[in-house]
Amino acid sequence: MARSSLIQIEQDPLDDSGSVLWSIIKGEQLEYPVTLTFLSNATTGYTYEAVVVEGLNVADQSSPPVTHRPGGVQTTLTVRVPTFRGNWDSAQAYNTEEVVYFNTKYYRLFSGVARVNATNPDVDPVWIETLLNKVYLQFPMTLASTWSVQPVVSGPVYGFFELRVTESSGSFPRTWKPVRGMVEMLFSPTDIVA
């Protein structure tokens, strides 16, 4: 069998679909879904960490910074992991954002508290089809509020973002960093009005 040369790279065993840009207006509070394609079930057995680190922004910058601000603000984001309740049961009470399995698919309850209903999730409009390997990143409205440089009408400021996923157990817990990139913080008139 012929061997490839060490310096002629033809394969990358770890695929990377590229970095992301989260564009947020200062003062917005948003939640974004992230599908972790390398996992089949994200609801148990993993620890999630998401952070934003202030970039080395300067006043009136024309392009994003290329490094973080030494000693800058570091923000830990909440990663919401839905509660998986197992097989759907018409006699059980379910709450908003809980996930059930029914008829070979997963469904997330869009709204309701202690909701009991005999209508199957595949035809009930309050159940939305989902995936079991989906988590939700929560960006707080206070993000970037204490950064050294603030966004202005003519330009945004930036931070660096990364999501880390680590196995909760095992003799050699694996760690992945499936999503990383930048957060662009845009100027907001409502943010400056008292």
What does the DSSP 8-state code read for residue 7?
A: T
- Within its chain, how far is the Cα of 11 from the centroid? 28
CB 78, CB 87: distance < 8 Å: no
**Average model confidence (pLDDT) for the chain?**
92
Helix (H, G, I), strand (E, B) or coil at 192: helix
pLDDT digits (tens, 9 = 90+) for 93-137: 999 999 999 999 999 999 989 989 989 999 999 999 999 999 999
Distances (CA, A) of 42 to 79, 118, 190: 11, 28, 37
- Within its chain, how far is the Cα of 182 from the centroid? 13
Phi/psi for 192 (5° steps) reads -100, -10
Handedness of CA 8, 10, 12, 15 (dihedral sign): positive
Please report how many Cα atoms fall inside a 13 Å half-sphere around the Cα of residue 95, on the Cβ side.
Answer: 3
Note the pTM of the prediction, 2 decimals: 0.88
150-159 b/e with 16+ CB inside 10 Å = b? bbeeebbbbb
Closest CA to 46 of 94, 7, 79: 79
Domains of the chain: 20-80+132-192 (2.60.40)
pLDDT of residue 12: 65
Counting residues of the chain whose pLDDT is more than 90, the rounded percentage is 84
pLDDT band, very low/low/confident/very high, at 170 (cuts 50, 70, 90)? confident
Element (H, E) at 178: strand 175-186
- Enter the tokens of residue 34: 């992230």
